[in-house]
Structure 1
Amino acid sequence: MGVRTIMGASGQASGVAVKAADQQDRLARMRESLRNHLLHLAGKGGKRLNLMMSNVSYVILENFDFSRAAMVACNFSYSNLEGAHFRDADLTNSLFIRTNLVRADFSGAILNGVRFHYADAQEATLDETRMKQGSVMVYRDDVAGGGRREQTLVQETDLSNSNFEGASLRGADMSGCRIRNANLKGADLTGADLKGADLSGSTLAGAVLTDAALSDVTVENTIFDVTPETINALQMNDGFRRFLDVRAQAKDAAELHRAWVDSGGKDGTRADFAGRNLRGIDLSGLMLATVSFAGSDLSGARLSNAVLAAADLSGAVIQYADLSGADIRGANFAEAQVQFSSFQGVDATPLALRNGGSLPTRFDGASLRNCDLRAPTLTATMLSGAKVADCEFDGA
């Protein structure tokens, strides 16, 4: 069945052996139940998996079929469940912390009260899932009456800080969910019910929102594509209107900056975006040479083919941004935090100065993770002062 422990997942070598030994004992006790569940699904007898409050953490069960299983309040944290099937399973109040759920299938599953924290559910299928608040009935002795009293504990569904890029959530009931700082880039939310959900800080660039219910959603610092569809659905939402206002103001400032550059400083005004919240801003193709973005938040920004020559992006936060084809000659990215962003085809050659010298593009102290750095002018020497991890790179 491919049941193994994930060695070293806790990041603490001293605790790995203990976790591994404990998990082996738990898996040995569970193995027969898993076999019986597969027999049940195959129509060969067996018994449907029925677990409650079980610890299924730190295991590898890639592609395992948990379909129709009852696994209420189970802990799947730090497990590798890539490609696993949870179709029509009951996972009420279950916990997934840093769990690998890439391409997992949760179609029709009950996910009420589930908690995904830093889980990777890229390209997962969650069509028609139910993600309302979960509840558990707790029975306690009634001291006064001598009998038993019933208490209901309610757990909020929380998908915060998790990766759902490219996932399918068609028809999912996510009403009232907490989905803060999640990556829903390119996700299919067709017909999803997001009424009252908290999407603060999340990225929905490229997400399909056709017929999605978006009334009363919280969208502070949320990144959207501005389409007729989103404008129609969110035109009365205060957070979305503030997002549109920031975009419009930045566009106006960029136009004045172009006039300032073209006139040699005689007309227009030099733009200064230092320390600004520019999440989801679209400045693609614009003249932004010498503009300061120092310490600004450019998460989800579109800067493709923009002129950023000699621009100051030091200390900026640049996540899920598109700088493909941009002119970044002489730009300063020192100490910038850059993740999941595209620099494909940028021009990073030294910027020639009027005095005959040149200004190099700088990345000293910057952190670049999971970025597309496929540009011939982005050389290893240029990036030597940066921390580069898990990036695509073809420079010399």
Structure 2
Amino acid sequence: MTHRSKAGRWRVLACAIVAAAAFGAQWEGYPKLTREELIATIKETEQGARPAVDGKNLSELDLSSVDFRGANLSASVLNGAKLVGATLDRCNLTVSFLEGANLSGASLREAVLFSTQLAGANLTGADLTGARLIGDLRKADLTKAKLIRMNAAADMKNQSMGLMRANLVNATAIEADFSDSDFSRTDFSFSDLSRAKLLRTTLYRADFSGVVLAGADLTGADLRNAVLIDTDLTDANLTNADLTGATLRSVRGLDKATTTGTRGLTPETMSNQ
């Protein structure tokens, strides 16, 4: 990516943030579309082209089952929208707003969710396989969601506006599948990942403070330098996981976890919990 394109991306991000603060709930300057107008725009797109509905106000609309496949929805407003069962595969949702949106059962395979606002969104059963994620998912519901082979690692090259990383604070991800993904430096604080699958997941420097990982499968997970303070690991599977350099303090249930082949655990660590 060239210096110019990087600068342009950050200008878009800055403008979106300023716009949100300035316009609030009114979203002035974002053309409001109806469901019918949106579908018509998508259908009118030339065959093989990427539908462009970026910068639009689609908040509170019922867009259930709409096929957005490959659409450019960057810098769009979908706060409170109903996207149940919608197809958003390969969509560009960079700096878009989906706060409180209902995406249950939606497909977002290989979607780009860079600096996307998803706080309080309902993503139960959603499929985000292969998606790129750096966004705000505070209090989001990811129960039974598929987050397989995702790149959700922090952006270490562009930190002019602070560390850009995935934020899953106070989220619910019971029985969600994070397998084979990279969630390095993600903040999972105070979330519920009970019985979640994190097989071979890269969780380098991730923050699991106050997180419930009871019954979670972390087989082969990379937890080097991760933070596990007041974390519940009751019945978790840590087989062949790497906890080298991790901070473990006041961890619950470690004595009931499976630790066969787990690296980074010392007798002192086990006895101090």
Superposed CA deviations along residues 216-267 of structure 1, whole A, max 9, x for unmatched, are 0001111013667369644864424x4369x7xxxxxxxxxxxxxxxxxxxx
In the other structure, the counterpart of 1:126 is 142
In the other structure, the counterpart of 1:168 is 172
In the other structure, the counterpart of 2:196 is 192
Say how many residue pairs are matched: 203
Structure-1 separation of matches of 2:147 and 2:129: 4
- Quote the offset at 1:60 in angstroms: 1.6
Q: Do residues 104 (structure 1) and 121 (structure 2) align? A: yes
Larger Rg: 1
In the other structure, the counterpart of 1:71 is 88
Pairwise CA RMSD: 3.6
Q: Do residues 10 (structure 1) and 2 (structure 2) align? A: no
Structure-2 separation of matches of 1:123 and 1:66: 18
Structure-1 separation of matches of 2:203 and 2:119: 21
RCO comparison, higher one (Cα < 8 Å, 6+): 2
Amino acid at match of 1:158: A
Structure-2 separation of matches of 1:39 and 1:124: 19
Q: Do residues 243 (structure 1) and 246 (structure 2) align? A: yes
- Quote the offset at 1:200 in angstroms: 0.4
Amino acid at match of 1:207: V
Amino acid at match of 1:112: T
Amino acid at match of 1:58: A
Given the superposition, is the C-alpha separation of residues 172 and 224 from structure 1 closer, same or farther in structure 2, using an over 3 Å criterion? same
Q: Equivalences for 1:1-396 in 2 at 5 Å?
A: 10-11=13-14, 24=31, 31-33=37-39, 41=64, 48-117=65-134, 119-133=135-149, 156-158=150-152, 160=154, 161-225=165-229, 229=233, 233-234=237-238, 237-240=241-244, 242-243=245-246
Structure-1 separation of matches of 2:86 and 2:41: 13
Structure-1 separation of matches of 2:219 and 2:66: 38
- Quote the offset at 1:76 in angstroms: 1.1
Question: SS where residue 239 of structure 1 aligns?
Answer: coil
Question: SS where residue 228 of structure 2 aligns?
Answer: coil
Structure-2 separation of matches of 1:94 and 1:167: 20
Question: SS where residue 116 of structure 1 aligns?
Answer: strand
Given the superposition, is the C-alpha separation of residues 102 and 194 from structure 1 closer, same or farther in structure 2, using an over 3 Å criterion? same
Residues 131 and 157 in structure 1, CA contact (< 8 A), matched pair in contact too: no
Structure-1 separation of matches of 2:146 and 2:131: 10
- Quote the offset at 1:35 in angstroms: 11
Residues 82 and 102 in structure 2, CA contact (< 8 A), matched pair in contact too: yes
Residues 210 and 232 in structure 2, CA contact (< 8 A), matched pair in contact too: no
Q: Percent identity, aligned pairs only? A: 24
Amino acid at match of 1:168: T
Superposed CA deviations along residues 115-139 of structure 1, whole A, max 9, x for unmatched, are 111x110000011111223xxxxxx
Question: SS where residue 145 of structure 2 aligns?
Answer: coil
In the other structure, the counterpart of 1:346 is none
Given the superposition, is the C-alpha separation of residues 157 and 49 from structure 1 closer, same or farther in structure 2, using an over 3 Å criterion? same
Given the superposition, is the C-alpha separation of residues 24 and 122 from structure 1 closer, same or farther in structure 2, using an over 3 Å criterion? same
Residues 76 and 96 in structure 1, CA contact (< 8 A), matched pair in contact too: yes
Structure-2 separation of matches of 1:180 and 1:215: 16
Segments of 5+ residues of structure 2 without an aligned counterpart are 1-10, 20-26, 43-57, 155-164, 250-273
Q: Report the structure, 1 or 2, having the larger strand content.
A: 1
Segments of 5+ residues of structure 1 without an aligned counterpart are 1-7, 42-47, 134-155, 248-396
Question: SS where residue 88 of structure 2 aligns?
Answer: strand
Structure-2 separation of matches of 1:30 and 1:221: 50
Structure-2 separation of matches of 1:34 and 1:123: 34
- Quote the offset at 1:193 in angstroms: 0.3
- Quote the offset at 1:198 in angstroms: 0.2
Structure-2 separation of matches of 1:34 and 1:214: 45
Residues 166 and 184 in structure 1, CA contact (< 8 A), matched pair in contact too: yes
